[in-house]
Amino acid sequence: MAVDIGYEAINRAGGSGEEVTYVAKGSPATIAGVITSIDIWADEDITGLIVGSFYTTNGNTLKCRDSEAIAGTITAGSKVTKVVSIAVEIGDYIGCYFTGGSIERDISGYSDIWAVAAEYIDPDDEAVYSLLSDDAISLGGYIGAPPAGIPVQAFMYMQRMRRQG
């Protein structure tokens, strides 16, 4: 099944390392709701993974809408699926940050990724990203609707309050 946001998690030609926030420009969200699961393919075992939704505020300036830390290690060598709950709006992109390892990456033939050194994946973090033309990372997600009767905006607020304790 094709991902709803981002790129397919496949074995790619190379990898990209840690301590960079990556955002997949390919396949932005076409519906508002919740990213309910993600697929990722690590080139080298990934630790400290955080996945989030992003939107552009001006050109290559992106802002994180919502994010979730993924516990444990993402083992390299095959597609790994993780359950998440990340709010997403129409036009949003999926991205990630990790403290160790590397993610599968191609450097040609795709719709670009954005990258910025350091961690900019907490809700409301905003930064100017470099555009890496034709690149793709192996990160994609599946979007579902928020729980019945709860508007997306209310759901995003509830997500933030849950994370703040």
Q: Give the model's pLDDT for residue 62.
A: 98
Residue ranges in the chain modelled with pLDDT below 50: none
SS3 sequence of the chain:
CCCCEECCCCCCCEEEECCEEEEECCCCCCCCEEEEEEEEEEEEEEECEEEEEEEEEECCEEEEEEEEEECCCECCCCEEEEEEEEEECCCCEEEEECCEEEEEEECCCCCCEEEEEECCCCCCCEEECEEECCCEECEEEEEECCCCCCCHHHHHHHHHHHHHC
CA distance 98 to 81: 16
The reported pLDDT for the residue numbered 151 is: 77
Q: What is the pLDDT of residue 24?
A: 97
Residue 165 has a pLDDT of 61
pLDDT of residue 160: 64
Could you tell me the pTM of the whole model?
0.90
Q: Where are the domains of the chain?
A: 5-164
What local confidence, expressed as pLDDT, does residue 158 receive?
Answer: 73
